[in-house]
Amino acid sequence: MNNKCFGICYNPQIVRAAAVGNSIKFKLEACGFRAKIVDIDSLCQGFDFVFIIGGDGTILKAARFYAKSDTPIFGINLGRLGFLSQASEDMLDEAVSRIVNENYAVEERVMLQAGTSIALNDIVIKGSSTGRTSRFSLKINDKSVCDYLADGIIVATPTGSTAYGLSAGGPVLTPGLRAFVIVPICPHTLTARPLVVPDNEKITVCTSEKNKKYVISADGQEFCEASEVIEIVKSPYCAKLALLNNSDFYTILRDKLHWGESPAFCS
């Protein structure tokens, strides 16, 4: 029996996720490895490598958890877009074979931190009053940059630039860039544009409104309330994504987002 231990994390709300998890466990044990199945709401440490079965939301939650132990993760998409995943169900045999033979690369992805919250995609700040705009003041390295009257502010990593930030009009950043993008959400001005900054900058969002509360979300999953001043910096943790190197970032843009294609070819 090989001493390497694999985790298999699945999302029980996704059809066939449990069955795919059992299939992977069978294949790993047939190769002489130890393997344990856990669901996304009962994550645990102690693995050398973790398969994540589900959609991008499942991968994001697992990435935040396993980044703290430097554990590589590999996404198998059973969701809709699957932008962060590397394989589909019909690629299981190839994926497991390459991983047990260590024929893969591990790419470190920068993460954000706001207080105790960390995020692989983005930190989003909104006012606590649903449906109302809020006033935000942006500072970088304690120097005032601009004020926004907006529905919120997105601070995204390169990984997250293809998510909420892109929908709000932000640019796409390649994963290897050491930068963050700041995107106002529906700003009440024509001069507010997304801003790309180095990832070693301290980003501060504050308000002059008395007793104003903000809602902060990490990857659209973890929510907390904050007041007055929010500081966002590069997290000391990095997500470690295992890649099979069968496609590059620009291929994924074309295949997943139909980047640059005529609408006639996007059906």
**Beta strands 203-206 and 229-243, pairing class:** antiparallel
93 is catalytic: no
Tally the C-alpha atoms within 13 A of residue 215's C-alpha that lie toward its C-beta.
16
CA-to-CA separations, 224 to 30, 60, 102, 215, 227, in angstroms, rounded: 44, 17, 39, 6, 10
Are 163 and 156 a contacting pair, CB within 8 Å? yes
Do residues 133 and 150 lie in contact, with contact meaning Cβ atoms separated by under 8 Å? yes
Spell out where the chain has E strands: 5-10, 34-39, 49-54, 73-77, 87-88, 105-114, 117-119, 122-127, 134-140, 143-150, 152-156, 179-185, 195-198, 203-206, 213-218, 222-227, 229-243
List the catalytic residue out of 39, 41, 48, 56: 56
For residue 264, give the 3-state DSSP assignment: helix
For the annotated catalytic residues, the residue numbers are 56
